[in-house]
Amino acid sequence: MHRRCLLFQPTHRPPPRPMPELPEVETTRRGLLPSLQNRTLTRIVVRNPDLRWPVPADLEARLGGLTLRGIGRRGKYLLFDFGAAVQIVHLGMSGSLRLTRPDEPAALHDHVDWLFDDGTLLRLRDPRRFGAVLCTDDATRHPLLAHLGPEPLTPAFDAVYLHAQCQRRSAAIKQVIMDAQVVVGVGNIYASESLYHAGIRPATAARRLSRPACTRLNAAIKQVLTAAIAAGGSSLRDYVASDGEPGYFQLQTRVYDRAGLPCRACGTPIKRIVQGQRASFYCPACQH
């Protein structure tokens, strides 16, 4: 393993709080790609390297002068492909990447700028500094990415796979589908919503799920994430897309953050429980 991988032992961990999830990250990726693909990086300005892990001191030396071939995503990580190296960016709890003018003054929480040859400026804003900007020669072997499960919107994540994973686990199903080694990118909002659409309570033991239940849940996860991406993600505290616009999926939620309100389908009050220090929401009548 590359020697610099030793740097990626967490030095501090954020408390469990809402953060940008897969749809927000995918919305950011799609927003940035048309402006940045095939542009040459000319300069990087790091105002504060003290993010969740230190920004590499040689970041500009490794990436400066390289052309951005594309922007990929693995779970909640953005992968900026510069050919000779891949830059990994995580938005943490409150981070956002925005395209702005080169003469736009940096604000207090604007920690990293990337300037491209056509004058385009990409800026990372991260008030809580739990995001990350890292660099690797091989993203597939990087310790943050090497052990991740399949992407939820790919054929690798199907009902057969989900059922097999559930059969080996006694943990609550919501915890299982939020485990990045099982499937990446199903965060708190989208886990609650997917379980609602599948008619499964979040505290149900995973190994109790039948094959038909896993088929419903697999389809619900794909449906919910697809809808969230189409809506531009959810507005979570400081999160906005690369153009500064908020996401709107949270306006469509059926259970998330609706404790005490009537279920949109049956009118039963939505319940709230806490699982692993995260709030879970469900309808006692629609979810069994």
Residues with catalytic function: 20-21, 76, 278
Judge contact between 113 and 150, C-beta under 8 A. no
87 has which bridge partners? 80, 135
DSSP 226-287: HHHHHTT----TT---TTSPPP-GGGG-SSTT-TTSBPTTT-PBPEEEEETTEEEEE-TTT-
23 membership: H or E segment, kind and range: helix 22-36
Judge contact between 162 and 214, C-beta under 8 A. yes
**278's tokens:** 């995260």
